[in-house]
Amino acid sequence: MTASAIVTAAMLAIGDELLSGRTKDKNIGHLAEVLTLSGIDLKEVRIVADDEAAIVAALNALRGAYTYVFTSGGIGPTHDDITADAVSRAFGVECVHDPDAMTLLGDMYKRREMEFTEARRRMARMPIGARHIPNAVSTAPGFIIGNVYVMAGVPQVFQAMLNAVLPQLETGAKVISRSVRSPFGEGDIGGPLGEVQKRHPETSIGSYPKFDGQSFSTELVIRARAEEALDAAEADILAMLATITAARSSGSADA
Amino acid sequence: MTASAIVTAAMLAIGDELLSGRTKDKNIGHLAEVLTLSGIDLKEVRIVADDEAAIVAALNALRGAYTYVFTSGGIGPTHDDITADAVSRAFGVECVHDPDAMTLLGDMYKRREMEFTEARRRMARMPIGARHIPNAVSTAPGFIIGNVYVMAGVPQVFQAMLNAVLPQLETGAKVISRSVRSPFGEGDIGGPLGEVQKRHPETSIGSYPKFDGQSFSTELVIRARAEEALDAAEADILAMLATITAARSSGSADA
């Protein structure tokens, strides 16, 4: 893929425990950081319950809209782990005990002198024809079908699987960013900052308020795909801040 | 609403910073916990960028499907705060400087001897006819239109706004839960646990693996809307665990 192409992604986090508040998700923020650093734009995230219809509907909406979809959760050995079935249904293919995954897991349990129970065999189930995502932490693989990457919900395993697939992904022009600290609050700079944004449409300028307990300041984050665009917007913001500073110190309304 | 009615909700978290990984969301888990305790079922969460088309599409999908929709983010004073415009567009109504909000904010800045800039006036904008959500932390109100509750992204403000609206919400039969600790791993209990789930369709039994560094155990969480259903499923699970324990200690395959 060329350096100027834009590669997009969505995430589908699956699990009742995320929606009941029992478990606080740790995978969304991690995926967001890793994809941003890799030059893949995470555009949308959805969280749904362990509910086949909900998973199928969300997955079909997302896989048609973005380059990649990453899922987390629901690939363990118990009855509430239904992600493999739901993904198979979304693609209209059969969900089977993958022979290679059966061998991998069978050998592992044999080494550990543990019974390869029916429940453990469930972890070998995936849509027919899916490719494995290796699991360096606990062996049971994730899988890839089409543009969908199905990974575990346990953060250590999710991260290991993501590390395993990352080198295979197409990546686009990286979004680079630069922070400028404004000593003024958002309410003071909001107007002129909007003008700066209009003059630099190839950048995206985010404004994040800070409060130190006494006064407000603002962190401005400029994002763009080209260094020159960042440079130009940064210079414009610094000039704007200098104008406000001069106006305040001279006591006049305009510098 | 009767105690047996089911009240549902979705959350729409809005902000580029959540998708770039710069900010780790803290509102989803909080909302999930609070709604669960209140008897409102959080069924779906979406995260989208500060992008009008994306916000409108997600909001229109969610507000048609669930009793309530709660949004977070994008209601500050800067150009990237576009939630009020997007929500107005989703409802097909004009976005205006709400007169009551203008008075509220104007008075506050007057007291604090701060200029009521054009940027600060942006925080008074909302769909025409919307009702305020009070903001005990920093004055600028959120708003309610239809079944959509538009709240701030800063967690302290989001929480204050949620506290303010919670007493007004209809609530349904509370989902109650009980935890049972299994000394066995998911792979050992997965088969019989699935049978227990089938015998208790009015409950939802979640299985959460634990690893203490040496061996696996499992936390089983039974959820239901009636105490008797919890009691029955719990008794069935305890009997199942006793059977496995007896089988293991006698060394026989079946107890």
**Residue numbers in A near B76 (CB within 8 A):** 186, 207, 209
Cβ of A119 within 8 Å of Cβ of B197? The answer is no
Closest-CA distance, B78 to chain A, in angstroms, reads 5
Q: Give contacts of A 48-107 with B, CB under 8 A.
A: 48-50, 54, 58, 76-80
Cα angle: B21, vertex B22, B25; to 5 degrees: 70
Whether A15 contacts A83, CB under 8 Å:
no
Q: Distance between CA B86 and CA A202 in Å, rounded?
A: 22
Mean residue pLDDT across chain B = 94
Q: Would you call B255 helix, strand, or coil by DSSP? A: coil
ipTM for the complex shown? 0.92
Helix (H, G, I), strand (E, B) or coil at B138: coil
- What residue spans define the domains of chain A? 7-168, 176-250
Phi-psi region of B65 (alpha: psi -120 to 50; beta: other; left: phi over 0): alpha
Establish whether domains B7-168 and B176-250 are of one fold: no
Residue range A37-57, pLDDT digits in tens: 999 999 999 999 999 999 999
* Residue indicated by tokens 């496995």: B244
Q: Write down the H helix ranges in chain B.
A: 16-19, 27-38, 52-65, 83-91, 99-111, 118-122, 155-165, 186-199, 227-250
Instruction: Return the percent helix, strand and coil in chain A, to nearest 5.
Output: 45, 25, 30
Residue in the block written with tokens 């990286």:
A174
Helix, strand or coil for residue B64?
helix
The residues of chain A scoring below 50 in pLDDT are 1-2, 253-255
pLDDT value of position A33: 96
Q: What is the pLDDT of residues A67-77, one digit of tens each?
A: 999 999 999 99
A175 to B20: CB separation less than 8 angstroms, yes or no: yes
Please report residues of A whose CB lies closer than 8 A to that of B41: 19
* Closest residue by Cα to residue A12 from A23, A57, A33: A57
Which tens digit of pLDDT belongs to each residue from A199-230? Answer: 999 999 999 988 777 778 999 999 999 999 99
Q: How far apart are CA B160 and CA B72, in angstroms?
A: 12
Tokens of A112: 């550990």
Picking from B19, B184, B210 by the largest number of A CB atoms within 10 A of its own CB, the best residue to mutate is B19
What is the distance between the alpha carbons of residues A206 and A45, in angstroms, rounded to a whole number?
Answer: 20
Q: Which amino acid is at B162?
A: L
Instruction: Provide the pLDDT for residue A177.
Output: 94
Q: Provide the b/e sequence for B217-237 (b: ≥16 CB within 10 Å).
A: bbebbbbbbeeebbebbbebb
Bridge partner residues of A199 (DSSP): none
* Chain B residues with CB-CB distance to A194 below 8 A: 78-79, 119
CATH assignment of B7-168, among 3.40.50.10140, 3.40.980.10, 1.20.272.10, 1.10.3720.10: 3.40.980.10
Whole-number pLDDT of residue A255 = 30
In chain B, which residues have their Cβ closer than 8 Å to the Cβ of A190? 77-79, 117-120, 122
User: Which residues in B lie closer than 8 A to residue A20 (C-beta atoms)?
Assistant: 32-33, 36, 42, 175, 177, 223
CB within 8 Å of B70: residues ≥ 6 apart: B9, B10, B11, B12, B31, B148, B149, B151, B162
Q: Is B195 strand, coil or helix? A: helix
Handedness of CA A233, A234, A239, A245 (dihedral sign): positive
Instruction: Tell me whether B204 touches chain A (CB under 8 Å).
Output: yes
Residues 133-192 of A with CB under 8 A from B: 154, 175, 177, 186-191
Q: Distance (Å) from the C-alpha of residue B130 to the closest C-alpha of chain A? A: 23
**What are the chain B neighbours of A252 within 8 Å (beta carbons)?**
none
Q: Which residues sit opposite A127 in a β-bridge? A: A95
Contact flag A19-B42 (C-beta cutoff 8 Å): yes
End-to-end CA distance of chain A: give it in Å, rounded: 48
Q: What is the pLDDT of residues B51-104, one digit of tens each?
A: 999 999 999 999 999 999 999 999 999 999 999 999 999 999 999 999 999 999
Contact A29 B30 (CB under 8 A): no
Structure-token match 């009020």, residue found:
B84
pLDDT of residue B216: 80
Mutation to test the A interface, candidates B31, B42, B47, most A Cβ within 10 Å: B47
Dihedrals phi, psi of B56, to nearest 5 degrees: -60, -45
Backbone angles phi, psi at B79, to 5 degrees: -60, -25
Angle, alpha carbons A135-A35-A160 (nearest 5°): 15
Q: What is the spatial distance between Cα A72 and Cα B17, in angstroms, rounded to a whole number? A: 21
How far is B93 from chain A, CA to nearest CA, in Å?
24
Check residue B254 and give its pLDDT: 42
Tell me if chain A has a CB within 8 Å of the CB of B112: no
Which of the following CATH numbers is that of domain B176-250: 3.30.1370, 1.10.3470, 3.30.70, 2.60.40? 3.30.1370
**Among partner residues A22, A190, A223, which is closest to B77 by beta-carbon distance?**
A190
Give the distance from residue A12's alpha carbon to the nearest chain B alpha carbon, in angstroms.
9
> Which helix H or strand E contains A150, and what residues bound it?
strand A148-151
Angstroms from B69 CA to nearest CA on chain A: 14
Pairing of strands A125-127, B216-224: unpaired
Which of A60, A78, A186, A240 should be substituted to probe chain B, the one whose Cβ sees the most B Cβ atoms within 10 Å? A78
Alpha-carbon distances, residue B127 vs A49, A122, A133, B131, B144 (angstroms):
32, 50, 47, 9, 9
Q: What is the pLDDT of residue B5?
A: 81
Instruction: Return the structure tokens found at A152.
Output: 């575990």
- Mark the ranges of chain B whose per-residue pLDDT is less than 70: 1-4, 251-255
Report the chain B residue with the minimal C-alpha distance to residue A30. B21
Query: Could you tell me the sign of the dihedral formed by the alpha carbons of A126, A128, A132, A133, in that order?
Result: negative
